[in-house]
Structure 1
């Protein structure tokens, strides 16, 4: 009899812990292609928009009037700002994914799978605050370790403090780059 090729069915010879681990790993390893395609589509759409905006800026400048030239220069600045924002956002996203992958490989990611959740899917406030308090103690013990800084950034995010989460994630990226 041939082995069952269906990965969704449990292995009758494996332990419950192995099966649970395999299921949670399968859930974490989602296919990223739809997200990548959507990002690519949005970036291309924004680039087309920037080209059209740039053409309008040139049209305003070539109108020859003082107001047209002033507004045209202002309009020409917008595509450059947009390109810079897209590049910065994509670079940050790639860096954050690199850290997430490294943390996952080390088995040090935060396990929030069993935490109570609101109907919206967000973690209950009390549980997120308790998680944050525990992770903050770890971070305070060694704030120069990028792993601890990454974990506290995630804890800030779960607790709903997005501003501090971004700040700590930037710090984690800098620490990760600077490690020996």
Structure 2
């Protein structure tokens, strides 16, 4: 039986809605900043500068988050294409759907040995990042996923 690819349209629609809402928000903030600058007092100009800087920071956060998400999706697709995805289907799960702790720790030990054999391989680094996530260590998972992304970009050059 062929596996079906999940429908990404709802996620794309939510992202599009949020980006449009953010654009409207930025227009409103831009008008408010303009009014602050028009007043000409030191305090209103300082507030105006703050009103301009915060949306720019927001844009940077949104763009970097979307870029990371797209890159992680590409990495995941490439890992599947290489036949090296982590098969968690046979592992026992809690009622919440999370993998049982002992099974996650055992899976982590196996994948860690693979990664230690070749830490420069982006696929192994991606897999250990996923294993950290399954084991519940989110901070190390994020750290290793950043490393995997760097290695992935380097390998694609």
What TM-score, normalized to structure 1?
Answer: 0.82
The number of equivalent residue pairs is 156
Number of the residue aligned with 2:70: 94
1:113-157 Cα shifts (integer Å, max 9, x gaps): 122222222222222111111111110010000110000011111
- Higher helix proportion: 2
For the pair shown, the structure with the greater C-alpha radius of gyration is 1
1:69-99 Cα shifts (integer Å, max 9, x gaps): 1111111101100110011001001100110
Q: Structure 1 unaligned runs (5+)?
A: 1-18
In the TM superposition, 1:29-178 aligns within 5 A as: 29-178=5-154
| Pairwise CA distance, 1:54 | 2.1
SS in 2 for 1:112: coil
Which structure has more relative contact order (CA 8 Å, sep 6+)? It is: 2
Q: Structure 2 unaligned runs (5+)?
A: none
Distance in 2, matches of 1:143 and 1:77, equals 40
Q: Contact 1:51 / 1:79 at 8 angstroms: preserved in 2?
A: no
Of 74-83 and 168-177, deviating more is 168-177
